[in-house]
Amino acid sequence: MKRLALFVYGLLSYAVFFATFLYAIGFIGGFLVPTTLDGVPHLPFWRALLIDLGLLTVFAVQHSVMARPAFKRWWTHIVPEPIERSTYVLFSSLTLLLLFALWQPMGGVIWNVEDMAGRVVFYALYVFGWLLVLATTFMINHFDLFGLRQVWMQLRGRPYTHLRFVTPGPYRLVRHPLYVGWLFAFWATPTMTLAHLVFALATTAYILIAIRFEEHDLVDMHGDDYRLYRSRVPMLIPRLFGRARDRAAV
């Protein structure tokens, strides 16, 4: 019964994540959901800015601290190890839902593309970003990343095994195609408001900082395999010319 309960917990955590993921598409894009990045401001600019920065900080701290190996070692004395990842996914989803609920529009327009062809291009890039995010998770094992593989293995009574280091598809072009997808999703908008700009700048800064910590953990986990990969493949911007042989060899 305990193994079944942990499995159900993992499924429910994933369901909350997936609903949050779908809501995020509408929240950032500004359609089909009751709260969005943009809109009519209800508070003075500086108050709205402080609230939004506070919400972004809560998410960044939760997302980073709970991902660190030292925290995981302590946390699994409290939370059963098979649901550690599911719990991380659940907490990340809840902090995002809090952000969605309390986010404050600020008014103001940085740019606005009125030409229909230009708007289509921006929306196409926006969709591309979300598809890249989703596709790259499946390339490196979507179910392990979001905790389902862990609870499925414990349900079957099998010990968890870490995934081997692989570089499929876009991982041969950049080391973090998942983050590239997020950047497209955050910045590709035909209408950039002040609130959207604050969100895009803050999340971009978070990504650049998070990569440093993540790569430190990957070196600890994979050693020379990851060091060699890091020396050959750029972080976020692919090399369009040159070093093709190096990329093919990784």
Which residue type is seen at 160? Y
Tell me how many domains the chain contains: 1
Model confidence over 88-128: pLDDT tens digits? 999 999 999 999 999 999 989 999 999 999 999 999 999 99
Q: What is the pLDDT of residue 239?
A: 84
Q: Which domain holds residue 125?
A: 2-249
Instruction: Identify whether the C-beta of residue 184 lies closer than 8 Å to the C-beta of residue 37.
Output: no
Six token digits for residue 47: 């108050």
Report the predicted TM-score, pTM, of the whole model to 2 decimal places.
0.90
Q: Is the torsion defined by CA of 198, 182, 186, 232 positive or negative?
A: positive
Model confidence over 148-181: pLDDT tens digits? 999 999 999 999 998 889 999 999 999 999 999 9
Closest Cα partner for 99 from 183, 146, 192, 33? 33
pLDDT band at 39 (very low <50, low <70, confident <90, very high): confident
Of all helices (H) and strands (E), which one includes residue 176? none
